[in-house]
């Protein structure tokens, strides 16, 4: 019964996400084929991973696990049920003082089990959304430990306007999720160089800002 409830809830969440955002997936540099991947995206809303997850075809969605902050998602019984039963997320304790498991080890274990990941390398929400915050080092360490897995940049456009920080009721707006060309860690590539290259690949997917009056 618990599993059935989770499946029904997942369907309802996808329908709601599509109804509110009319989300459109754009596969600009990669095809939606059955390969293990780390989808890394910009982070402007708690609903970011839901939109990426919604845009994946069913065969890819089944194996995709979002990486989420334990402090937020374990704060209430409902959130705990959603993040564990519905989304099967990899939960990360973002507080080094209370952390019992290495975040890289937790994500690596999920990859070793055959899952794909939906990851936000900025680490925290970026309400502005126009410019990326500096990437945390997790993406680099995953790339180094799993060199054959495709790292796919994903730009989520407009979701920060659908659910601004502090708001409860979403504003219906059209969103796009653009999947770019995959990249890998190059042999001998330094961490800083790789993270800058990954951030650049993600930023290139962002839509150009509209000029005033147009």
Domains of the chain: 2-203 (3.40.1130.10)
pLDDT above 90 coverage of the chain, percent: 62
**pLDDT attached to residue 169:** 47
pTM, full prediction: 0.89
pLDDT tens-place string over residues 80-122: 999 999 999 999 988 777 888 889 999 999 999 999 999 999 8
pLDDT above 70 coverage of the chain, percent: 87
pLDDT tens-place string over residues 135-153: 999 999 999 999 999 999 9
| Mean of the per-residue pLDDT values of the chain | 87
**pLDDT attached to residue 210:** 52
Cα separation, 139 vs 122, whole angstroms: 10
How far is C-alpha 51 from the geometric centre of its chain's CA atoms? 8
* For residue 208, pLDDT beyond 90: no
Cα separation, 139 vs 92, whole angstroms: 14
* For residue 200, pLDDT beyond 90: yes
Identify the H or E element spanning 41. Answer: strand 37-41
**pLDDT attached to residue 96:** 78
Provide the pLDDT confidence category of residue 185 given band limits of 50, 70 and 90.
very high
**pLDDT attached to residue 131:** 75
Cα separation, 173 vs 23, whole angstroms: 9
**pLDDT attached to residue 99:** 82
Cα separation, 102 vs 181, whole angstroms: 29
* For residue 163, pLDDT beyond 60: no
Tokens 């430990």 sit on residue? 145
Handedness of CA 98, 101, 107, 113 (dihedral sign): negative
**pLDDT attached to residue 214:** 39
Q: Are strands 176-179 and 150-157 parallel, antiparallel or unpaired?
A: antiparallel
In this structure, of 67-76, 92-101, 169-178, 194-203, the range with the lowest mean pLDDT score is: 169-178
Residues 6+ apart with CB under 8 A from 164: 127, 171
């Amino acid at each position: 019964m618990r599993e059935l409830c989770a499946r029904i809830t997942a369907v309802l969440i996808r329908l709601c996400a599509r109804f509110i955002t009319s989300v459109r997936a754009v596969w600009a540099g990669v095809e939606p084929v059955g390969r293990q991947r780390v989808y890394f995206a910009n982070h402007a809303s708690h609903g970011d991973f839901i939109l990426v997850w919604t845009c994946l075809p069913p065969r890819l969605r089944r194996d995709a696990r979002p990486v989420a902050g334990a402090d937020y998602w374990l704060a209430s019984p409902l959130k705990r049920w959603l993040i564990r039963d519905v989304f099967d997320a990899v939960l990360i304790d973002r507080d080094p003082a209370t952390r019992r498991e290495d975040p890289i080890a937790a994500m690596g274990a999920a990859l070793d089990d055959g899952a794909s990941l939906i990851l936000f390398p900025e680490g925290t929400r970026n309400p502005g959304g126009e410019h990326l915050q500096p990437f945390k080092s997790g993406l680099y360490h995953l790339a180094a430990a799993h060199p054959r897995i495709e790292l796919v940049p994903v730009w989520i456009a407009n979701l920060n306007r659908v659910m601004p920080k502090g708001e409860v009721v979403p504003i219906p707006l059209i969103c796009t999720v653009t999947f770019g060309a995959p990249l890998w860690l190059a042999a001998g590539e330094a961490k800083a160089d790789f993270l800058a290259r990954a951030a650049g690949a993600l930023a290139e997917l962002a839509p150009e800002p509209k000029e005033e009056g147009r």
